[in-house]
Each structure stands twice: as structure tokens, then as C-alpha cells.
Amino acid sequence: MSRPSTRSSKNKRHRVDDNAATTCQIYRTIHSTGEVTNDDVNQLYMIWKPVCQGCRVNTKDNPNCFCGLVPPPNGSRKSGLWQKMSEVVLALGPDPFKDLRASSEYSPAGLTNLGATCYANSILQCLYMNKTFRQGLFSVEPGLLKQYPVLDQLARLFAQLHASKLAFIDSAPFIKTLELDNGVQQDSHEFLTLLLSLLERCLSHSQVSRARTIVQDLFRGSVSHVTKCSKCGKDSEASSNMEDFYELELNVKGLKSLDESLNDYLSVEELHGDNQYFCESCGTRVDATRSIKLRTLPYVLNFQLKRCVFLPKLSSVCCLTCCPLALAVSSDCPRVYMTTTKKKITSTFCFPGELDMRERLSEPSDLELIYDLSAVLIHKGTAVNSGHYVAHIKDENTGQWWEFDDEHVSNLGHHPFGEGPSSSADKPVQTEPSVHLSSTEQMNGVMNGNHINVGQRTTKSGGDRQTVPSHMEIKEDIIHSDNDAALPAHLYEEVKELNASYLDACQQYKLKKERELDSITERRQEVRSVLSEGTVLSLEDPYYWISTDWLRLWADNITPPIIDNTPIQCLHGKVPVSKVGSMKRLSSKAWNMLLSKYDGGPALSNDDCCIDCLVEGASTMVSADDYKDRRKLMKELADAVLSGKCLDGNLYYVSKSWFQQWARRKIIDSPCDADAGPTASIRCSHGNLIPEQAPGAKRLLVPENLWLFFYESANAVKPDDTLGCSVFPSDAEPCATCSMELTEVASIEDTLRGFKLKQRQSHEKIALGKGFVLSPNCKYYLLPSLWLSKWRSYINANGKNVSSSVEPEKLDSIIDAMKCEKHSRLLERPIELICKRGMIFQRFSATDGLTIITKDDWKFFCEDWGCTEDKGISAEIEFSNCLANNFAGSCEEMLINEEHISPHDEVNEELESGQLVIKTSPVVCEVCIGERESCELMQKLNYCNEDIRVCFVRGKEAPKSILEASGTISEPDRRTSKRSRKTNFGNSINLKVSGSTSIYQLKMMIWESFGVIKENQILHKGSTVIDGESSTLADMNIFPGDLLWVKDSEIHEYRDIAETFHDELSDHKMEVQQAEEGFRGTLLTSSISSQLLILGEASIEASSHFLKGWFEDGLNFVWFGNMCSKKLEVGICLSGSRRIIGPWVPNFLLLGEKLKILEEDLKGWNGKELGNVAAHKTRVQQIRN
């Protein structure tokens, strides 16, 4: 039983061959009779084909097929009318409803990140969520806001955060006002300090008392630095001075909780030994104690946890001028200097939900000073110079915590730190794994600062707690109710307009979306309706022709164009049969539906089939059939010609290559361009038959009937080209002029061939590139190896290489170029000699140095290449000691093939070659050669962004291939692979480096590529170990294309790569890029630039014990290192500055410009001399003099 077919045949297309015979017969009938019947039209226009259904694509050869114009009921397309509705909505643009804030009363708004402004966003959210600060800012009078743009933009920002309908607010106006670079990550602690300072200065001009002192009232406390003499028990005069603080900077290194950090901050320091204190009462240096005393506490207490520390690091450098870093460790070791690297401490740190600060005040208080935790600023990441800031802030009204991550604001609930609802006030909140556990996400740090913002202070006196202001005095204009005050009128109106504009945009988007979706739905229904009515049911029904291209546009586009049927019209304005694959047959009803809505045309009905085109097409087809039949006969005749059969009758020449290509071409309906020019390549410039010896002049004889067919076809394609179809019968004579020219060329070639043969015979060994035995005390001559290579290529060229070989220059100019103009001595050295098995010969080089040739070779070269014998450069081989008896040979030459010389011999007898000396006349000019080689070396060392290859070798020893490749000098222009390769001994990779790249930086790249920490890397070039991290690649003679290899010593244990590697790599990249500049050049520092005196960059040379004396009482010195710029900056805090901020802040006097600060100069300074800038200027000038 046969297996039934599972494939339906209803969609099977009719093959072209099935209807080809019928169509051909119809055309022949039309051509013979000149008449066209209705049956002929139905057959040729394929009207007879049935209406198909279910085709996957639209059928071109069936005008009744409308399949594929629309997708299936549940289908879609990538674009156009049938695109997915979700994609249509997406194309309308961003949906403003997605930016709608849930509720301005219960859900805070976020801030946009402009690139790297997360540090500013986190600080701004902390300030805004402080209700007292927010209300104080809203109370500023409008006139002052206009006067200070920073206040105006901050008030506008807070107003939008307070009442905007948007889920996140654009912070760009405020950031631009501060002139911040939104592409540079900054320190949040420094930003907060500078911002509060700027706001304090601006608000000091306010007439509203609440606003004028809002910064001081909320954030300012006071401390004293108390120094107490252990002998007399008296405090120093400076101990009574109270200094303001706006945050407390606490150490976290080695400490586990906030309580331990506060104890460390307030701990007593013993001053003894070199750090003894000079007591005014005792009149001498005495032991003393120093401590910090908290005098008053602010309403909002900010803690800055110093998670960033500077670690000392010893660096070995060549001299101070090469690397002016830090301070010298010891005068006995001038080549070793101390630098610092920045590290982030990532250990766990605990802090309580409530903090009682009563016991930590210097003077006991009867009230409990309880602080509630209100905000935590978090720095995510292990690297100091990168990462991301977020803030966790508690809402004062609801008690819920929120996470502010730029635009995203998340509700964390009432207990975000895992303490639970039943925890007591004394239970600590830890940054344990349940909250922020990874080493890359820590709750606090310094420099790239993280803060603990311990919120409003409460006091307890017997009964209930009361909220009081920071300075412990109750004033009516500071006490606020629980509800937020209303926005000022001008800010309220502005936010109201913004909200109205946003809501209007939402409404416009909604209407636009509805219109677009309704239009698409309506159009889809229209397309399906018209196509369902478009089928012509019978041959007798009237119909219209319509362009398939327009029909596709109409069915695919939301807004189709007017009807355009001109592409399917012929010159007679009707429908030609040649366009049947580009048009469809549409019913009258469907056509009228389209025409009434889209207009256009022209209307082409069933009566518009072009009979004239049918008759013309029939004639063309019959002519094409006749041409194909005739060409088949000519093809058989051409095959006979190619097979070499005897031909009778008149014969004619045609080009052999043209004839072969014609015979290989397929048979087509009519002549083509390739049929032109059957004799073009065998016709000379004189119009005659070119001699057969000429290039490309091969020809064949063809019969007269075949030639006539070629002639007719060529004239049909190019009737005006008489030259390409010249007639050359079999008795045509070749052109006499061309024959004479060819004879002359052949004679010249024969002469040249004979000359090259003579050269090879006269200089057989040099032509073969083989060496010969050299004998002492015999006279030889020298020629450049490069000239001999060119000569060898010239005389050995044959075949196709003859035309490409270049004749070498004459020897006269070559000899002149070998001598320097200044000393008339040689500018090249002879290639070194090698002694093997008691014989002497010269190393082979194709391009470098001078090659030794015999006296006879020199004589023949002078005869053939234009030079006199006495102009030659002679050479003799001599021994440096009497070893002549050890060598065989004399002036007689002996052929030596270098292939027979083993590497073993070279190793065993290498020392003997050093006893041979080549004496030349004239002598070698070492001065000029040295200058040239120095310039070349400098050019090689001054490279940038070039490749070197580094191989990671596993095992005790590197393979011999690596040692040899690594020890050789590379070619700068050599192409190398950029891919990382895996070999049987390890991996290799290409690294982009420069001549100024340090070994330290290279090791960091290797660390990143292979995962081998730099302490374990043993780096080699050949057999030489590369050491010294401060040295550059140019110092170590490492050039582009060099091969280095590295081993893992495994001496040091691997540290946590996720922590240490990324930290060091990040700091290393920051060193390479540029120095930190902080907020220099922004509005945060521009207003106090007059306080800064910069005298240059410091290059300090001092001993380490100097620093100990810098912190004596009355000398408020501060020093810090900016390692990104590889220099030490010494800062001296000016009198009157209320806080120390960090590098580049204008509260410091920077001393320098190649200035030495000596021990006696430092000891001579005292606190009074530091009282004003004028004193600093005078002292600096004294040191310079």
C-alpha cells in the first residue's frame, strides 16, 4: 500500500516549462496572422489563473493573487500598518505618565544623574529631607534669591521636589549654576562642606532671621583643642579657643562601631620625646596631653567616617629631579623615597539608631542629648576614585526610610537596617550582610565621602522629650509644627505652572495615542475589507488593473499615497503584457472604493490591454528564437574550429582569446556587448594585422559563414566601431613596421639576457648568496649588502619577474655614498666574521653592513657597473694575536654553504671571532656612525601607543623559542597578530604601551591580563630580568614588537582580587590620566579665591622626623600628598579658617616652586608668624634668597 501524500497541491505553482510551449505558439500565431483574440489575451495576461488562497507570499505570475499583502489575523510586521501595537505606542515617544509621581505627600521625588553627579544628588536629597532646613530656605525673600542664583536655583529645586507631579526632577539648572563638571566624580563630603559654606555666605545677607542663620543653627557645633602641661597642670592659651565644626571626622580603621570611633576622636594623646610641648608657664619643653573637647553640639550632627586612608609606600627612583615625590626616608639612602597610595577600608561598621551624646560633652549636662538616626550616605565600590553614591533617609513625618538612587526612589520601610520593630534604642544598626554586605558597597567612607547624618536632637527632662534648636535656646521663629509650611507664592506659582504643563503634556500624549491607535484600527479594517472585495469571480466580470507596488504601499502604510498606475503603463498609455508580474486584477467594486478615497489613476480597465505591444512582442520573440537557433549552429562550428578540424573555403582571422570566451558563453536571445570586437586585439596601431609574436596577438582562422555571423553581431551591438571589427583574411600580411619593432626589442632582450648570464658566471658565489673562506693578510673589497641584494635580484630575475626587476645604481655613486662628507671615512661597518672549524667566513646579511668580496669580483664589478678599481674600499683580515696556524686556507677561495654550519659550532668557537680584526681603507668613521645610531635609538625610544607581546610562562624554565625570540631585536614595521594566543607553555597577549610607560604600569596591565599580582611577577626580556618599577620601557630598551615573558613566583599569597586588584588598577589609571583638581574652577571655590596664595609646585627634600615637630602647639600645620600628580603639597592652615577641607581648597598656603624647606627654617617659625598672608610672603622670600 502506497503512503498517502501529506502535502496539499492546491498552492503548487505551475512550472514555467508547462506553459512555455503554449505561450511560444500563441506568439508565433500572432506574428504570422497579425491578429489577437480574447483567448490570447486571457492566456498571455494570465487572467485564466485561479484565485489562490493561503499562499505564504504574494505570487507575481498570478494577477488574481492577493495573498501576503496583509499578515495572518494574529500576525504582525516589523514596521508600518501591521506593526505591533506596543511598538506603535513606543514610536510615539516617551510616555510622560511613566514619570508621574505617585503622591507628592507620601512619595519623595528623585533627581536626574547628569553623568557623574550622584554625589551631589545624594547630598541635595539629605538637605531637602531635613524639614527645618527646607522651611528655612523657603523663607528667604525673593529679592535675595534674584541676587544669588545659587539660592534661587536651590529653592526652585526644593520647591519641585516638594510639590512637583514628576517622579524625578532635573538637577541640571542647579549643577550648571555651580559650574560643576557633570562628567567627573567628586567627593560628597567636600561638596557638602563647600556648599554649606557658600550657602552660609549667601544667606548672611537675608533679612529673615530664620533663613540668615539656618546653616549655623542646624549644623554648627564647637570644639576646643586642649593641650595640658603634665608638669604644672595648666592648659595652653590656645586651649580656650573654640573652633566651629560642621561635621565630625571619625576614624574607622581598626574600629568596629560609632561608639569606638567617638572614643578614639575624644581620646587623650600623650606628647613626649620629640613631640614635647613648650609650656609658657614652665618656660621649657615638657610632657603634655592633647585632646579634643566637645563644647556645643548642633541640631543636626553629621559624622564623616574616614574610610579612605593614605598608605605609605617606598619607591626606588634614579634621583630627585626624575621623580620629585614625597619626602626622603633617610639622607643615607637618597635613591629611596616615600609615596602614598589611597585605599578604602571596607570592614563592617556598626552604628545605633539612637545616640546619646550627653556624656561626651566637655561640660556635663542635666538633659539627655538624644539624636535619632535620620540619614546615611553610602558609597558603593572599593576604589577611592570611582563608585556610586546613594542615600538612605528617614521621612520625619512618617518615620519611613527611603533609598534615593538618583532618579529611583524606593521605600525601605520603618526598619531598613534589619533591627526589627522590637529593638531597643540602644540596639546597634549594623551594615551586616542582610543590608549592605559586599565589599563594594559600604555605608561610609572618607574623601569619596559617606556620612552618617544623625538627625534632630531631642532632650529629656523628667517627662516627655522635646524638640529644641541646636543652640539650646527656644525661639519662636525656629520652632516649627509637624506640618510643612506652604511654599512661597512665587515658587508655588512656578511649580503650579510646571505641573500644569506636565499634566497638559500627559493629556496631549493620551489624545495622540488614542488617535493613532484608532487610525490604525480603522485602516486595518479598511484594508481587509477592500481585499475581500477585490477578487474577480469570473472572466466576464469587469475589472481594473492596479500596480502591485502601490497596492503594497496602501496595505502597509498608515497614510498611503494617491493611486499611481503610471509604472504599469506602456508608451501607448495602456497595459503591456510585460508588466503582468507587476500588477493585480481588481474588481470594479474594490477599485471604486479605492478611487473614491485616494483619487489618482489612471484607470486601466479590462479593455486597456495593449494589442500593439503584443504584436511587437511576438515579433521580438520570433526574432530571438531565430537568433538562438542560428547561434546553436555557429556554436557547433566554433567547437569544430577549437578541436582543430580541417576547414575548407575562405578563412578569416579572429582573436583567439575573444573566440574562446564567445564559445564559452551561454546562448541568449540577441547579441550583447561581449560580441563586439572579434579582431580588436590582433589589429595594430597602423590598422594592419599585428605580428603573432606580439603579446596578446594569438589568433585563429574561422570559416567565412562563422566570420559573417561574428561581423553581423558586432555591427548590431556597435555599428560605429569599424576598428574593432577589421577584416583580416587568411592571406593578410602582418604589419611590417610592427615586425621591425619586435625584432629590435627581441635583440635588446637577448643582449640583456646575455649580460645577466655573464654576471652570474663571473660572480657565481655572490649570485647564489653563498659565503667563501677568508684568509688573513689577503686583500679584499667591501660593498654594501643592500646593493648586492638588489644586484642579485636583478640578474636572477626571469619570466614575469623580468619587468619588475630594477637595475641597481652605478657603483661610482654607491662608493661616494659610503663615505661621510666630514671625515671621508666609512659610514658602515663590515659584517662581523665567524670562525668555524678552523676557517673564517663572514656572516650573511641581505640588507645591513658591508659585505666582503674578492679582488676579482671587484674588478669585474668595476668593468660592468661604472667604477674605477682604485676607488674601491679595501679590507684585510688580521689577528689580534698569533693564531694564524690554527686556521686553514690561504688567498685561494673555498665555497662554504652556511647551511652546513651548526649552531653548536657557533657556540663553541664564538670567542675566536673576537680575535679577528678587519682593517679597512679608508677606516670606519665611528663618530658619524655613533651620531647616527644615537638618533636612531632616540627615535625608537620615543614611541607611543605601540604593541609589545607578553607571554605568561608556566613552569620552571621558559622554552628556548621564547628566549631566542625575546632576546632578538624586533623590527618596528613587522605585522603582528592582535589576538591573545594559548600555547603549550602558557598564554600570550599584545599590550599597547609607550616609551614613557613605567614598569609598574606594565605590571598592572599584566596583572589585569593574566591575574598574576605584580608582587609575584618576574618579568624577562630574553634571559635578562626587568626590575625597577619606576623605570620606563625606554630606560630598559624595550621597543615596539618586543617579546617579553613573565613567570609567577608564587612567593606572596594572593589577596582578594575583587578588592585589591580593582582598587590598585583604578588608582593606577587615575595616575595616568590627570591630577585631581576637586572643585577648583567652580562657583563653590571662586568666591573665596582671594584667600589663596599659590607660589608653585613643591619639591620637598626633608627628613621624616621633621614632620613630628610640625604639630607642636600653636603650629597648626597640615600636610597631604596628591599622588595623582606625583608631588607632595605642603599646606599651612591660615588663621581664621574654621575647617580644613583637603587638596586644592583655598584655605591653604602652598609653598614651593623648587623650594627647599630646611630644618632650621621650620624650627624658626611660630604661631604668631602665621597670622597673616604678608608674613608668609616675607618668610617665603627670605627662604628663596
Positions marked active-site = 118, 388
In 3D space, the residue among 534, 522, 346 whose CA is nearest the CA of residue 450 turns out to be: 346
Q: Are 672 and 717 a contacting pair, CB within 8 Å?
A: yes
Question: For residue 389, what are the contacts with CB-CB under 8 A and spacing of at least 6?
Answer: 118, 119, 121, 122, 188, 377, 378, 379, 380, 450
Query: Which residues partner with 957 through β-bridges?
Result: none
Matching residue, cell 549667601: 202
Instruction: Name, in order, each residue with C-beta under 8 angstroms of 633's C-beta and a sequence gap of 6 or more.
Output: none
Q: Cell 541640571 belongs to which residue?
A: 172
Q: Using alpha carbons, select from 916, 1021, 1033, 1043 the residue that is nearest to residue 970.
A: 1043
d(CA 1031, CA 1022): 18
Find out whether 34 and 619 touch, Cβ atoms under 8 Å: no
Rounded Cα distance, 844 and 832, in Å: 9
Amino acid at 512: K
What whole-number distance in Å separates Cα of residue 910 and Cα of residue 903?
10
Q: How many CB atoms sit inside 10 A of residue 187's CB?
A: 26
Angle at 311 between CA 305 and CA 316, to 5 degrees: 165
Phi/psi region, residue 968 (left: phi>0; alpha: psi -120 to 50; beta: rest), is: beta
Name residues whose C-beta falls within 8 Å of residue 513's C-beta, 6 or more positions apart in sequence: 89, 92
- Return d(Cα 980, Cα 1010) in angstroms, integer: 11
Residues 6+ apart with CB under 8 A from 989: 949, 950, 980, 981, 1009, 1010
User: Distance between CA 860 and CA 866 in Å, rounded?
Assistant: 10
Q: What is the DSSP-derived secondary structure letter of residue 1059?
A: I
CA dist 1032 and 445 (Å) reads: 34
Strand pairing report for 465-467 and 839-842: unpaired
The residues near 699 (Cβ < 8 Å, ≥ 6 apart) are 653, 654, 655, 656, 682, 692, 728
CB atoms within 10 A of CB 782: 25
Count of helix runs (H) and strand runs (E) in the chain? 32, 48
Cα dihedral 1119, 1123, 1124, 1129 in deg (nearest 10): 30
DSSP per-residue codes, 710-769: HHHHHHHH-TT--STT---BTTPPBPHHHHHHHHHHHHHHHHHHHHHHHHHHHTHHHHHT
DSSP string, 826-839: BSSPBPPEEEETTE
- Picking from 585, 574, 641, 563, the residue whose alpha carbon sits closest to that of residue 612 is 574
Closest by CA to 970, choosing from 894, 1021, 907, 906, is: 1021
Rounded to whole angstroms, the Cα distance separating 682 from 691 reads 8
User: In what helix (H) or strand (E) does residue 919 lie, and over which residues does it extend?
Assistant: strand 916-921
- The answer for residues whose C-beta is within 8 angstroms of residue 1059's C-beta and 6 or more apart is 346, 382, 439
Q: Tell me the C-alpha distance between 829 and 850, whole Å.
A: 6
d(CA 887, CA 900): 18
